[in-house]
Amino acid sequence: MKLLRRQFLRLAASAAALPAASRVAHALDYPVRPVHIVVSFAPGIAPDIVARIIGPSLSDRLGQQVIVDNRPGVAGNIGTAFAARALPDGHTLLVVVSNNTINATLYRKLDFNFAHDFAPVGSIGATSFVMAVTPALPARTVPEFITYAKANPGRINMGSSGVGSAPHVSGELFKMMTGVDFLHVPYRGNYMADFLSGQVQLGFPPIAQAIEFVRDGRLRALAVTTSTRAHALPDVPSIGEFVPGYEAAGWYGICVPAGTPDVIVEKLNAEIAAVIGDPKVSDRLLAMGVEPHAMARAEFRKFIADDIEKWAKVIKFAGISPE
**CATH no. for residue 122?**
3.40.190.150
Q: Are residues 58 and 135 in the same domain?
A: no
- With 50 as the cut, is the pLDDT of residue 22 above it? no
Assess whether 208 and 237 both reside in one domain: yes
- What distance in Å separates the CA atoms of residue 97 and residue 82, rounded to the nearest whole number? 16
> Structural domain of residue 147, as residue ranges?
130-241
Between CA 200 and CA 130 the distance in angstroms is: 15
CB atoms within 10 A of CB 237: 17
Answer yes or no: is 95 within a domain.
Answer: yes
Q: How far apart are CA 204 and CA 286, in angstroms?
A: 19
- Name the DSSP class of 137: S
Spatial distance between the Cα atoms of 230 and 235, rounded to a whole number of angstroms = 9
Q: Where are the alpha helices (DSSP H) in the chain?
A: 2-28, 46-62, 77-84, 98-106, 114-117, 142-151, 166-178, 192-197, 207-215, 262-277, 279-287, 297-318
What is the longest distance spanned by two Cα atoms in the chain? 93
What are 254-269's pLDDT values in tens digits? 999 999 999 999 999 9
Is 297 among the domain residues? yes
Could you report the per-residue pLDDT of 165-179, keeping only the tens digit for each? 899 999 999 999 999
Domain presence at residue 181? yes
In a domain, residue 187? The reply is: yes
192 & 118 share domain: no
Last residue of some domain: 208, 241, 274? 241
pLDDT at 204 over 70: yes
Confidence of residue 279 (pLDDT cuts 50, 70, 90): very high
Using DSSP bridges, classify how beta strands 92-97 and 250-257 pair: parallel, antiparallel or unpaired. antiparallel
Of residues 202, 144, 149, the one with CA closest to residue 180: 149
Q: Quote the pTM value.
A: 0.84
HSE-CB for 283 with a 13 A CA cutoff? 3
* Sheet-wide strand order for 130-133: 183-186, 157-160, 202-203, 130-133, 220-224
Which residue type is seen at 297? R
Instruction: Give the separation between CA 79 and CA 192, rounded to whole angstroms.
Output: 25
* C-alpha of 323 from chain center: 21
Which CATH number does the domain housing residue 205 bear? 3.40.190.10
The burial of 286, by beta-carbon neighbours within 10 Å (0-12 exposed, 13-18 middle, 19 or more buried), is given as: middle
Q: Tell whether 155 and 79 lie within a shared domain.
A: no
Q: What is the pLDDT of residues 109-135, one digit of tens each?
A: 899 999 999 999 999 999 999 999 999
Does some domain include residue 308?
yes
Q: Which amino acid is at 96?
A: V
Residue 87 lies inside a defined structural domain of this protein: yes
What's the pLDDT at 20?
A: 46
Q: State the average pLDDT over residues 243-262.
A: 96
Residues 54 and 121 in one domain: yes
Work out the pLDDT band at 319, boundaries 50, 70, 90.
very high
Last residue of a domain, one of 223, 241, 259: 241
Q: Is residue 47 part of a domain?
A: yes
Distances (CA, A) of 221 to 25, 27, 46, 54, 156: 54, 48, 20, 29, 16
Strands 92-97 and 35-39: parallel
Choose the weakest-confidence range: 3-7, 58-62, 81-85, 179-183: 3-7
Domain count, the chain: 2
Domain end call among 207, 241, 275: 241
Element (H, E) at 288: none
Contact 253, 86 (CB under 8 A): no
